[in-house]
Amino acid sequence: MSFEWWVGARYAGLTRSKRKAGQRGDRFVSFIAGSSMAGIALGVAALIVVLSVMNGFQTQVRDRMLSVLPHIELFYPGQPHQRVLEMWPDIAADAKQNSAVQGAAPFVGAQGMLVRNNVLSGAQIRGIDSSVETQVSELADQLYAGSLDALKDGSFGIVLGQKLAKTLGVGQGDTLMVMAPQGTISPAGFSPRMRQFTVVGLFSSGHYEYDASLAFVNVQDAARIFRDSGVSGVRLRIKDMQKAPEVAVELQGQLPSGVIASDWTRNNRTWFAAVQTEKRMMFLILTLIVAVAAFNLLSSLVMAVKDKRSDIAILRTLGATPAEIARIFLVQGSLIGFLGTGLGVLLGVLIAYNVDVIVPFIENLIGLQFLPEQIYFISSLPSNPQVADIVIIAVTSLILSFLATLYPSWRASRLQPAQVLRHD
């Protein structure tokens, strides 16, 4: 070990001098080094935990959304619903020529009003074919009452989300009225088109927005009641949801003219763009914590240089060059930054992988829920640590720590031993 590393490690508090006269100064240097190290560690840990939670939040919401929603939707605008439902096997066959497509199913989607006694609630009503729905969604696995097989043509059954059923005050076997936006105009006035449906199933996707607004009916029943409104087409599921935009572009070129392919990232573009922007801003804001710790490191090194003026002068008289003096404090600051970053990474990863245990404990302790599901769609705090984020955070911390050592090291190398010894 070169003497620069040995002295730098001692100044960083990693080694101790056996001389009693130096213990007081060593304790002071060790204290300011430890405080700088703790600041860096806390900043790095905070960054890792926050970004991991944001990654987990995005992943959880995305997966729960796509458990109900398709990866790609194919629309045939301008065609009546019944015509599209007759054409859907051919459209699905053409789409399945793309090797990325795993399943296909027809749909009719529209906005409607559900009425039960004096309670009214708006809903997104989806007409589905229960025989092939399992190819494109996990709805059948999310049912906790009833069965999709009950959605038969002409039976006018309906499957409701858990929160929507609670709002309407209905359960399996109850009836309600479904009102379409369009109606008929007669001498007596406007009469909305409506039909009585029977609740044949209840589902819970874990996504509050969908559980509170989605309802499923048979695709033919939906085509009858929403014949003048809504959209119809084919829903597709692909092997890799992340490649949905590329597959949608490929399908757009393969399918007959008039068919429009829309992937899930386009349909939910605003939400995902907002999450990505928020993640970038949180990274920049929380990086300021590490920057503050780096400034603390800089000030502590300046204080160390001032405290060790006599040591520097003695080393210079013994033949140490200004570059060697500078390297001593570069080693001291770099060791503090490296150890602080390492401790922060360990602490952050430990917390990030145990958020599902730590957060419920704190919620029970203080009696407060951090994530109201009405606002954040999910009720538990997820975490998804990603190696790329951790590496970027660690590298950023190390760079800031290294930059903080440059000025104190330069200042130490500029000290003149004659002037220092004369004043001391």
Task: List, run by run, the mean pLDDT of 10-residue segments along the chain (424 residues).
Answer: 71 58 56 80 90 83 75 82 84 85 88 88 89 86 87 89 90 89 62 84 84 90 82 87 85 80 78 76 82 82 78 79 83 86 92 83 74 57 85 91 87 75 62
Rounded CA gap, 9 and 328, in Å? Answer: 8
**Residue 81: its pLDDT value, please?**
82
**Residue 278: its pLDDT value, please?**
78
Residues 119 and 168: beta-carbon distance below 8 Å: yes
**Residue 158: its pLDDT value, please?**
92
Rounded CA gap, 334 and 318, in Å? Answer: 25
Residues 265 and 4: beta-carbon distance below 8 Å: no
Paired tokens of 417: 């031993």
Residue type, 138: E
DSSP H or E run through 160:
strand 157-161
**Residue 22: its pLDDT value, please?**
47
Rounded CA gap, 262 and 73, in Å? Answer: 5
**Residue 20: its pLDDT value, please?**
46
Cα separations in angstroms, 352 against 9, 247, 348, 383: 31, 34, 6, 6
**Residue 87: its pLDDT value, please?**
83
Nearest to 235 by CA among 83, 148, 132: 132
Rounded CA gap, 197 and 147, in Å? Answer: 15
| DSSP helix/strand/coil, 239 | coil
**Residue 21: its pLDDT value, please?**
44
